[in-house]
Structure 1
Amino acid sequence: MANLRAAVSRLRRELAAHPAEFPDRGIAEDELAALCAMALGGEPEIRRLRRSLLLVAGAIGSVSALAPSLAQVRIAVELFGERPRTEGP
């Protein structure tokens, strides 16, 4: 949990300090707030963590200055369990 809290906090600070406005910034801010709440609230729901991560990545993925912090959030989320397997043919 500490890794997730630290990574989300860092990305939130960097996003707040980033001067450029982009269309999905609000989505990223909302989902980072949700990730922060999950990190503070105890054992989070893994599917919800992954959904929030995907939304954040989609919203800020093209902002290269935020890529290292986004990668740290991804790593922290992945510590909560393996990626769900999909059944193939």
Structure 2
Amino acid sequence: MTALREAVSRLRRELAVYPSEFPERAIAEDELAALQVMANSGTPELRRLRRSLLLIAGSAGSVSALSGGLAQVRRAVELFGQLPVD
């Protein structure tokens, strides 16, 4: 859980100081806030974690200045394992 909290916090800080606007910035900010709540709750839902990660990657993934923070969030989400096959 610590890795997720740290990764989300880092990416939120990087996004906050990123000087340029981009069309889906609000989506990234909203999903990072949702990840922060899940990380702080102590019981994140894997499907929701992965959904948030996909939305963040889709909205901010093209911003090279955020790539390190985004990769850290991805690694933290992957620590929770794989979704079961239905």
TM-score, with length taken from structure 2: 0.95
Write the letter of the residue equivalent to 1:77.
V
**Unpaired runs of 5+ in structure 1?**
none
Name the CA distance, whole Å, in 2 between partners of 1:24 and 1:16: 14
Name the CA distance, whole Å, in 2 between partners of 1:17 and 1:53: 20
**1:9 corresponding residue in structure 2:** 9
Compare CA radii of gyration and give the structure with the larger one. 1
Name the CA distance, whole Å, in 2 between partners of 1:85 and 1:20: 40
Name the CA distance, whole Å, in 2 between partners of 1:56 and 1:78: 15
Aligned positions of 1:7-86 closer than 5 A: 7-85=7-85
**Unpaired runs of 5+ in structure 2?**
none
Write the letter of the residue equivalent to 1:70.
L
1:85 Cα deviation after fit:
4.6
Matched-pair contact (CA < 8 Å) for 2:31–2:55: yes
1:82 Cα deviation after fit:
2.0
Name the CA distance, whole Å, in 2 between partners of 1:18 and 1:85: 38
Name the CA distance, whole Å, in 1 between partners of 2:73 and 2:27: 16
Q: Percent identity at matched positions?
A: 71
Matched-pair contact (CA < 8 Å) for 2:46–2:83: no
Give the alignment's Cα RMSD to 1 decimal. 1.2
Name the CA distance, whole Å, in 2 between partners of 1:81 and 1:43: 14
